[in-house]
């Protein structure tokens, strides 16, 4: 047998062993959500609400957290109407560790423990770097990174005491590859990605498995909640198009299904959507070429008009082409929606 054939057989054998080991670990780690206690941050609408709805369909007891109590109560009522075993809505600003501690304490007082934490809360700022201030970066870090940190730190004593826990951090593609005109968001997501990977390594021996979720842009209407700076209307248009066009974006339903599969199987990470998977592969194989291509793409994005103008939220803008596509966002991404 030639050396090349031996190498090929060895590689195939090694791949088979790796695949078999992974399948065995999944089968050992797999859990069911029935009667599990699940905390979800950013759960009042969009992806967080869909994650909660899918967990409720599997029999989980839900603890929903977000800043807007009225929206949370609407989500609670809708989930109970759909047959959720139990839903507890707690108005929480994840930037405040005291409020997060209170959220966890209330969940433990009601249910006696916490099995799963989904860190989903996040904010997005869109615009060129010259329009971004230190406060924009600080705000992104406080919600996207520190919010997940505070929630994780709050649940760990309970999870360690019961020698079991699952934690999922919704990182996004922005934690794998820097996205132009979204630097505060990207910086915070890179921090969250590193935290997720390191935490996975240190907690696995305690039977607490941490999963990173890396979806492509999701069709949840997130562009209406984004904060736009520089040429706000032009920034809104390109970001809204990327957020709503099927093919470039991925449905929140699909991301939520993949999230729960990864959490229940105890996976280290889940990259969702072909754009995200493609970019991850290309970034690993051809980092310099990808950097050049992204640099060319940046030249197509809007330039700043007034770098000192205050940020505008997407829902305040109208009259762009993206508004027509926004109407096509699948129903069911918000409480009370059909589907």
| SS3 category, 278 | helix
Query: What's the chain's Rg over C-alpha atoms?
Result: 21
The helix/strand/coil state of 249 is strand
β-bridge partners, 119? 169
Tokens representing 67? 């800043």
Task: Give CA separation, 250 vs 246, 329, 330, in Å.
Answer: 7, 11, 11
Secondary structure (3-state) at 130? helix
Please give the angle made by the CA atoms of 259, 152 and 74, to the nearest 5 degrees: 60
Per the structure block, which two tokens stand in for 53? 């709805």
- Which of 49, 185, 214, 236 is the catalytic position? 185
CB within 8 Å of 314: residues ≥ 6 apart: 223, 224, 225, 226, 227, 228, 236, 239, 240
- On the CB side of 143, CA atoms within 13 Å amount to 20
Give the helix ranges, DSSP H, for the chain.
3-29, 46-57, 69-81, 97-111, 134-140, 146-162, 183-203, 232-244, 252-265, 274-285, 287-298, 321-326
Residue for token pair 């989904």: 118
Neighbours of 247 (CB within 10 A): 9
Residue 262's SS3 state is: helix
- Residues 298 and 18: their CA atoms lie apart, in Å, by 39
Buried b (16+ CB within 10 A) or exposed e, 57-96: eeebbbbbbbbeeebbbbbbebbeeeebebbbbbbbbbbe
For the chain, the maximum distance between any two Cα atoms, rounded to a whole number of angstroms, is: 71
Residue whose pair of structure tokens reads 């596509």 in the numeric block = 325
185 an active-site residue? Answer: yes
Q: Among all residues, which ones are annotated catalytic? A: 185
């Amino acid at each position: 047998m030639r050396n090349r054939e031996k190498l090929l057989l060895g590689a195939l054998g090694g791949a088979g062993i790796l695949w078999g080991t992974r399948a065995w670990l999944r089968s050992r780690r797999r859990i069911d959500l029935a009667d599990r206690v699940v905390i979800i941050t950013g759960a009042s609408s969009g992806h967080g609400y869909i994650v909660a709805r899918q967990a409720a369909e599997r029999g989980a007891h839900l603890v929903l957290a977000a800043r807007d109590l009225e929206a949370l109560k609407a989500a609670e009522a809708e989930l109970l109407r759909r047959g959720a075993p139990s839903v507890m809505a707690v108005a929480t600003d994840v930037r405040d560790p005291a409020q997060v501690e209170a959220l966890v304490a209330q969940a433990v007082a009601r249910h006696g423990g916490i099995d799963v934490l989904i860190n989903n809360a996040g904010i997005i700022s869109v615009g060129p770097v010259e329009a971004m201030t230190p406060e924009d970066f600080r705000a992104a870090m406080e919600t996207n990174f520190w919010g997940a940190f505070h929630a994780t730190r709050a649940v760990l004593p309970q999870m360690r005491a019961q020698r079991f826990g699952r934690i999922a951090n919704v990182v996004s593609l922005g934690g794998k590859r820097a996205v132009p005109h979204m630097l505060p968001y990207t910086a915070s997501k890179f921090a969250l990605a590193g935290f997720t990977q390191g935490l996975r390594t240190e907690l696995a021996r305690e039977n607490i498995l941490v999963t990173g979720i890396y979806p492509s842009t999701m069709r949840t209407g997130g562009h209406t909640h984004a904060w736009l700076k520089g040429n706000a209307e032009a920034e809104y248009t390109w970001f809204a198009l990327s957020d709503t066009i099927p093919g470039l974006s991925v449905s929140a339903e699909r991301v939520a299904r993949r999230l729960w599969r990864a959490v229940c199987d105890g996976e280290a990470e889940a990259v969702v959507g072909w754009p995200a998977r493609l970019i991850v592969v290309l970034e690993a194989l051809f980092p310099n070429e990808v950097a050049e291509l992204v640099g060319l793409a940046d030249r197509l994005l809007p330039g700043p008009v007034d770098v000192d103008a205050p940020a505008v939220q997407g829902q305040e803008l109208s009259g762009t082409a993206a508004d027509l596509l926004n109407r096509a966002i699948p129903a069911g991404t918000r409480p009370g929606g059909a589907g």
